[in-house]
Amino acid sequence: MQYLFSVIHDAATLATDDEMAAIDVFNDKLVADGHWVFAGGLGGPTTATVIDNRGGDALFTDGPFLESKEYLAGFWIVEAEDLDVALKLAAEGSKACNRKVEVRPFL
């Protein structure tokens, strides 16, 4: 079972050196314990472009699809046997990156 951990941030700041170091430790642990699938940090919402090609005529919009104070700053995809395991990992991840984390299952 895979879960997406969305890292939620509410300021235009990047991770500090301490936070990056803690994230590295957490990532190593994910790999060592067999939970690691993928992870990444994202550029801020101002770097986003929304594309709507539903009408066959691709329309580009500068900026995120949703203007809000909180935004997706990065993510992990982890392998965990159930939500209890995922929540424990997410709690560690939140502490490591010093940000809120939303957990959602892949279908």
Partner 1 sequence: MSDVDAAVTRAHRGEWARVVAALTRRFGDLDIAEEAAAEAFATAVERWPTDGVPPNPGAWLTTTANRKAIDRIRRESKRDDKQKEAQLLYDDDPPEPLGVIDDERLRLIFTCCHPALAMETRVALTLRMVGGLTVAEIARAFLVQEPAMGRRITRAKDKIKAARIPYRVPSAEDLPSRVSGVLAVLFLVFNEGYLATGPGTDPVRHDLTAEAIRLTRLIRALLPDDGEVAGLLALMLLTEARRTARVSAAGELVTLDEQDRGAWDTTLVAEGHRLVRERIATGVPPGRYQLLAAINAVHTHARDIRDTDWSQVVALYDQLARLDPSPIVALNRAIAVAELDGPDVALAAVERLEDRLAGYHAYHATRADLLRRLGRSPAARAAYDQAIALAGNTAETAYLTRRRDQLARP
Per CB under 8 A, contacts with partner 1 among 2-31 are: 3
84 near partner 1 (CB under 8 A):
yes
Angle at 54 between CA 51 and CA 57, to 5 degrees: 70
Place of tokens 């991840």: 93
Q: Which is nearer to partner 1, 57 or 84 (CB)?
A: 84
- Between 90 and 97, whose beta carbon lies closer to partner 1? 90
Q: CB of residue 105 vs partner 1: minimum separation in angstroms? A: 4
Give 52 or 82: the residue with its C-beta nearer to partner 1: 82
Rounded to whole angstroms, the Cα distance separating 27 from 10 reads 23
Beta carbons of 41 and 9 less than 8 angstroms apart: no
Residue whose entry in the numeric block shows the structure tokens 């009408």: 55
Select from 66, 82, 91, 95 the one that contacts partner 1 (CB under 8 A): 82
